[in-house]
Amino acid sequence: MTRLRRILLLAIVGLLLLCLAAGAISALSNRRLPSGPQVLDRLDPLDKARLAETLHLKQALGEAVWPGWGRADIPLIVWNREYSFLVGYPNPPAEWEAVAGDTFEGQTYYRQRSNDPQNFTLQVGDRWVARMATKWETDLFMRELFRRMLPPLIEDVFPYRLLIQPSEVQMCAVLHEAFHAYQALVAAARLEAAEKAHQEKPNYQAADAQMHDAWGKEIDLLARALRARSDSEAADLARQFLAQRAQRRTAHSLNATLLAYERQLEWEEGLAKYSELTIWRAAYTTPCYQPLATLASDPDFKGYKTFEQRWSQEIDQMKRESASEGETRFYYTGMAQATLLDRLRPGWKAGALSDGVWLEDLLAEAVK
């Protein structure tokens, strides 16, 4: 018994020493985290490289992801905490000033002071523009978010380096917002209606509190369909998903307004999420696609090779969304339905932006 106690004591002491050592290493690593651009009133060279690759990616593969989107002329805004920068928009409105002594891709670009910028599409003058934070701002937001949530003794030793995302995450997120701009270009009334649907969020949440278990079954069927080995298996699971969806809605007496809320958000955000991930997949799976050489200087760029890992993480996150109170759930369920349509009904995109066409209806047609 004494020998066993000695072994247990040594094991506990060893574990504590390992924890202390890991904490010390993590704390030291945190001191060496990237400090971000030193100058915020113009685009950092890495931001320029990522932005150039984002445009290159859309131009090279955007048409394969969504016909019309790749060739659509959509200016971009990337922002940091001090300035928003506008590229691809000659002669913008007067509130945008040219960045003196600097260019992007040999062209003048513009800036204005950042004033609570959001990640979405917006109108600048008479043009729809995609807007997204720089990678540094995105990584810093995640770091500060975790720091605020952690207790005082943990916040200094938490390995924040693990929160640094590949550059592909930010670049494809810019294209997510660029797809919203495309929705505005070709289906402005639908996008406006989808934006108005967000006003029903409080009413939906009141009903949703009782639906989490049913949503869990629904999303599980979607996830299994995405991972199906054959088209017939995917179609069968998609049918089960649609039946479970109809059962949930009937059991919880969802009215027409709340049904529209689900469909609108899946159309708006699900299609943008689909485009974000599908263009990453295309860059990963297209043998002839070559990223710009300037990305070689980016330590966070992985050459799109982490797509499979990212895809698995996204499916796992979708399954966790069943109990979420936010709207992110519909990003995933819309994306999943669109991905299944690629497999089960090629050509489905031809009418997907037309009035009154919903993803779930297209999927129902595909699996009749």
Least confident window among 146-155, 249-258, 352-361: 146-155
Q: Give residue-wise pLDDT tens across range 33-47.
A: 676 788 999 999 999
pLDDT band at 261 (very low <50, low <70, confident <90, very high): very high
Structural domain includes residue 13: no
Q: Are residues 89 and 231 in the same domain?
A: no
What value does the mean pLDDT take over residues 121-146?
92
- Choose the final residue of a domain: 166, 184, 202: 184
User: Cα–Cα–Cα angle for 310, 314, 320, nearest 5°?
Assistant: 145
Structural domain includes residue 10: no
Q: Are residues 308 and 274 in the same domain?
A: yes
pLDDT band at 157 (very low <50, low <70, confident <90, very high): low
pLDDT greater than 70 at residue 111 = yes
CA-to-CA separations, 221 to 1, 53, 83, 118, in angstroms, rounded: 52, 36, 44, 33
DSSP strand pairing (76-79 vs 83-87): antiparallel
Instruction: Please give the full DSSP string across 284-339, using - where no structure is assigned.
Output: HH-TT----GGGGG-TT--TTTTHHHHHHHHHHHHHHGGG--SSHHHHHHHHHHHH
Burial of 110 (0-12, 13-18, 19+ CB in 10 A): buried
Q: Are residues 141 and 232 in the same domain?
A: no
pLDDT greater than 90 at residue 315 = yes
For the chain, what is the mean pLDDT? Answer: 92
Structural domain includes residue 93: yes
What's the pTM? 0.91
DSSP strand pairing (127-133 vs 76-79): parallel
How far is 310 from 172, CA to CA, in rounded Å?
Answer: 12
Q: Are residues 193 and 336 in the same domain?
A: yes
Q: Where are the beta strands (DSSP E) in 215-267?
A: none
Contact 147, 153 (CB under 8 A): no
Range of the domain at 218: 187-366
Q: Are residues 161 and 287 in the same domain?
A: no
Q: Are residues 129 and 176 in the same domain?
A: yes
Q: Are residues 169 and 83 in the same domain?
A: yes
Structural domain includes residue 361: yes
Structural domain includes residue 322: yes
What's the confidence (pLDDT) of residue 78? 98
What value does the mean pLDDT take over residues 74-98?
98
pLDDT greater than 70 at residue 6 = no
Q: Are residues 268 and 139 in the same domain?
A: no
> Per this entry, what is the length of the chain?
368
User: Cα–Cα–Cα angle for 331, 160, 114, nearest 5°?
Assistant: 60
What value does the mean pLDDT take over residues 142-166?
78
Q: Are residues 287 and 264 in the same domain?
A: yes
Q: Are residues 283 and 220 in the same domain?
A: yes
How far is 182 from 178, CA to CA, in rounded Å?
Answer: 6
What's the confidence (pLDDT) of residue 158? 77
Query: By percentage, how much of the chain surpasses pLDDT 90?
Result: 82
Q: Give residue-wise pLDDT tens across range 323-334.
A: 988 899 999 999
Least confident window among 22-31, 163-172, 296-305: 22-31
- Choose the final residue of a domain: 184, 203, 235: 184
Provide the Cα torsion 189, 190, 191, 192; round to 10°.
50
Structural domain includes residue 132: yes
Q: Are residues 128 and 216 in the same domain?
A: no
What's the confidence (pLDDT) of residue 159? 76
What value does the mean pLDDT take over residues 207-211?
95
Q: Are residues 230 and 331 in the same domain?
A: yes
What value does the mean pLDDT take over residues 229-242?
98
What's the confidence (pLDDT) of residue 18? 45
Cα distance between the two ends of the chain: 69
HSE, CB side, 13 Å, CA atoms: give it for residue 358: 16
Our count of domains for the chain comes to 2
pLDDT greater than 60 at residue 250 = yes
Structural domain includes residue 35: no
What's the confidence (pLDDT) of residue 46? 96
